[in-house]
Structure 1
Amino acid sequence: MELRGFTSGYDGLVASWAVDASEVELLSGRPEYPFPAELTASWRKADPDIESYLLFDGERPVGYGEVWLDEEEDEVELARIIVDPAVRGRGIGLELVRALLEPAGKAGFSEVFLRVRPENAVAIATYQRSGFVDVPAGLMDEWNADQPVAYRWMRYAGD
């Protein structure tokens, strides 16, 4: 498997990996289905501090994720992680998260975080296996104060 920078031409493919409205909402906050490909393209254009990646198995893309760089907070956030539904359940998500930790670490910031919907048990288990732990409850409450939903916030603690 190889992590590569996201390039134009894969927007529609990644959008197709969200198999229903709930998955679209997990990725974008918008309960639309099918996923609008132009929304995927807008993610990369919205902020120069967002690095988008695809995980390839040979020449086949099997996963997508982003690394959000926050110089002001001295932190990185992993975001919008999704795996091709045709290969789910095979450890690709774990491999993708671990691969995203490489550019996250190279960014040189002190912390790596992610947020996940509390009902997304499969993702939470993957993140825990990748070395993420919950942030303290008080901090989670503080960070959720301005969020549209109450996320489960996790910090990378290492393997």
Structure 2
Amino acid sequence: MKCPFCQHTDTQVLDSRVSEEKDTIRRRRRCLACERRFTTYERAELVMPAVVKRNGNRVDYNPAKLRGSLSLALRKRPVAVSEIDAAVTRIEERLLSDGRREVPSQFIGELVMAELFRLDKVAYIRFASVYQSFEDIGQFVEVINQLAGPPAPGDRH
């Protein structure tokens, strides 16, 4: 680590501590040339994959857009903010663990659909209607019937 005062490259770590959030390491250092002390912070850099849109354009992953899509679908639904945060975290972990440098926007849409299915069926249908571009009531009925499952033996409609 280069000293910020004299630019010497030899420094000694005097103390290391993990932050309360457990996502950063704080290191207290001393320059071996000028004897001055300074603090550095170490944090893992996680690079999210680029998103390939349907038209072929590539854009940077935007966590605010993901959160906004989930929040819009879940608007006025009985789902806690902590559950939305957990869903965003699960989606981001999946994107990171997948290991790809680029992912199609459809892949993210499918991950959102899976999370909404788990969280709230009404929000799932709302999102599906926009994401899959429903054009008539029949498509809504089809998704609702899929959610309801097959009729039980002996049921008559």
Q: Give the TM-score, by structure 2 length.
A: 0.28
| Structure with greater helix percent | 2
Normalising by structure 1, what TM-score?
0.28
Which of the two has higher C-alpha Rg?
Answer: 2
Q: Which has the higher strand share?
A: 1
Relative contact order higher in (CA < 8 Å, ≥ 6 apart)? 1
